[in-house]
Amino acid sequence: MPSLRPILDTWRASPLVATTLIDPTKTSPGTPIPQLLDQQVSIGLRGDGPLSTRELVPLTREATKLLNGTHRDAARSVLRGVLGTLDAAKGANDLRGISFSTNPGAFVTQSLISNIEAGLHPDSVKGNDAVAFEKSMVELAAGSAGTKAQNLGWMDLGPAITSKVFGLIQRPPRVANDDAKDVALTFLHELEHNVTPFDVHTTAKQHYWLEEGLAESLAWWPGRAADLLAKMGTPLAKGDVVDPWSVPDENQASAAYRGRHQAIMGLLGLAGVAPTRDDGSTDPGALARARQLLQGEDLAQVPRNLARAIVRNLDVDPDLTDVVSDLVVDVQGDPKQVRALSELLRTRGRTTG
């Protein structure tokens, strides 16, 4: 049977990998990379069909321990719950596997593997190019300190979120606590990256903010984290909610992510799509409409989808659709730009003049 992740076999057999120490990170000074690979919990997904029905294949010793050890039932139920969130989503479910990293050095190693697979870094291991290898490692070490997780078709979870996931598996709380909510929101965000395929070679840089903004907006969509928490076996306590106002400061998204989130929700609002109605009740159909506008075949179509919906909702001249589409791109994750766009369109609406 072919390996589920051939690059791992290449790395394990590479003399360059065997002799390189990771030293740029403070917490793992001088750890040999093969040791870091062993510390990874790497799980491949085999088969097709809905993600939650795919076989979980351990690719490292630690992954075998997780999936077959003392806490196997809890581990599998958390992972199946997470993967199940994409079962109903239309679009390509191209997730190939998940890796957990228990320390920063392991996360850098893991990230480089995924980045090489995605074509973001040269394949210095295959080319046995020590200089390029070192350069990539240093670059990723600098960037990964503030990264919670990444998903380039293989989902890599950093140390902070890994420790929360393992905590849930080893000592599942009866009802969701802050860690469980953080885990649910992180998984929801990362999984949204699998719905609209994102390709570093074809996706225009000006559209990047949309991908991050839509992932963040759909992750925080009212009710979604609660559903996932229930599937993971740690339901919300009665009366508890997951919203941006109820998470502790240390679990807050960065200002840039909050801005993109707010910007996308603002654009959806202009398009007439909101999770709650004016009377405060939730609109159960709104999520499907938001997904239709934000998730599709190609990220490049999102501005036009939004523009068409906005033009129709605000009764603006349809000839302005292309202009609105360009203005949507120009928002670049800044909620102030959405307010400016809103004011511009409301004065251009046919009903108002």
- Site of interaction with Zn ion (CB under 5 A): 212, 215
Q: Find, among 180, 266, 265, the residue nearest to 225 by Cα.
A: 180
Minimal distance, residue 215 CB to Zn ion, in Å: 5
How is residue 180 written in tokens? 């469980």
Q: Find, among 115, 133, 116, the residue nearest to 124 by Cα.
A: 133
* CB nearer to Zn ion: pick between 11 and 187: 187
**∠ CA 254-259-264, rounded to 5°:** 130
Minimal distance, residue 151 CB to Zn ion, in Å: 7
Amino acid residing at 66? L
Q: Quick check: helix, strand or coil at residue 20?
A: coil
* CB nearer to Zn ion: pick between 244 and 272: 244
* CB nearer to Zn ion: pick between 191 and 306: 191
Cα 302 versus chain centre, distance: 18
Minimal distance, residue 212 CB to Zn ion, in Å: 5
Minimal distance, residue 286 CB to Zn ion, in Å: 22
* CB nearer to Zn ion: pick between 11 and 198: 198
How is residue 75 written in tokens? 């581990």
* CB nearer to Zn ion: pick between 215 and 329: 215
Distance of alpha carbon 59 from alpha carbon 62, whole angstroms: 8
Distance of alpha carbon 31 from alpha carbon 309, whole angstroms: 53
296 φ/ψ angles, rounded to the nearest 5 degrees: -160, -150
Q: Quick check: helix, strand or coil at residue 97?
A: strand
Minimal distance, residue 216 CB to Zn ion, in Å: 7
- Helix (H) or strand (E) holding 39, with range, is helix 33-39
* CB nearer to Zn ion: pick between 207 and 348: 207
Distance of alpha carbon 223 from alpha carbon 276, whole angstroms: 11
Inter-CA distances, 221 with 11, 241, 242, 351, Å: 39, 12, 9, 31
Minimal distance, residue 35 CB to Zn ion, in Å: 29
Minimal distance, residue 135 CB to Zn ion, in Å: 24
Q: Find, among 205, 34, 212, 216, the residue nearest to 113 by Cα.
A: 34
Minimal distance, residue 255 CB to Zn ion, in Å: 15
Q: Are strands 55-58 and 41-46 parallel, antiparallel or unpaired?
A: antiparallel
How is residue 234 written in tokens? 């740690």
